[in-house]
Amino acid sequence: MEPRTSFRKAWSVVYPILLYYVINYLVVLLLAMLTQAVGGIYQGVFAAFIRNHSASLSAGMKGIGMLAGMVAAIPAWKQESGTKLPLAGFGKREDTTDSDRGRKIKKLLIGSFMGIVTALFLNSLFTLLHVTESSQTFDSVAAVQFSVPFLLGIVLYGVVAPLSEEVLFRGIVFRRMKRLYSVPIALIGSAIFFGAFHGNLVQAIYGTIMGLFLAYLYEISGDFWVPLCFHSGANLAVFITVSIELCKLYVFSVSGCIVLGVLLIIISLLAWKYKIFK
């Protein structure tokens, strides 16, 4: 039954976000307490292992928390998509021929590349404008994020985070707002929720801009894999670039920002002209 009052509509949108956040937080908290307790009982080698691998353990807990939050949101996903699991039928069109599969692969590759260029351009622009220097919270969050071991970071930021966040913000929040309100409200509202979810002003601005891209791509493509690949490409591009000093020096420069900006405009125009995502 559709929510009839404004409050019910708003609550039906906010509730999955709160549920995801609470479950995520509780799971991470319980894992941290368990690790600390085990370290206290088995001191010595195990305690030293915890100290020496704190970044890896923290990343692993964070990933498990994200997945737990996503699992908790599956009933809402089912209500909006009609499928029981997030991976059971992301797109609304099934590919049945080699030509269809080829077009879909091309679409996903271009979506990933667009995510890479968009994320690097925004990060480069924010760096040049000194936006990142305005938030101490962002500095502390970034320090934790980029202290993760490289391979674990690839899995966490390239797979786990995009999947769980896309299920929540595009698969549930965007679709629900679109059903209850309108497409423009869903585009803007889901993007704002996505930005605010990141918890500090710099990432809120960045997340809102990226959220608009993600929701728009989902709307015009009707294929959940498109924003998922865009999100994954964006996360991996930033994580890898920041992890490699030479890449960071070039990308976060005036020339790098200009090249990325021009490239983003060209890709966007070509995608629009040839209706790549439709």
- Supply the pLDDT for residue 91: 46
pLDDT band at 96 (very low <50, low <70, confident <90, very high): low
* β-bridge partners, 246: none
More confident residue, 210 or 51: 210
Does residue 84 surpass a pLDDT of 80? no
pLDDT band at 41 (very low <50, low <70, confident <90, very high): confident
- Supply the pLDDT for residue 225: 94
Residue type, 99: S
Tokens of 247: 């890449």
Contacts of 115 (CB under 8 A, 6+ apart): 213, 229, 230, 231, 232, 233, 234, 237
Alpha-helix runs per DSSP H in 156-199: 161-166, 175-180, 183-197
Least confident of 47-61, 154-168, 200-214: 47-61
pLDDT band at 140 (very low <50, low <70, confident <90, very high): low
- Supply the pLDDT for residue 78: 92
Nearest to 233 by CA among 123, 124, 121, 109: 109
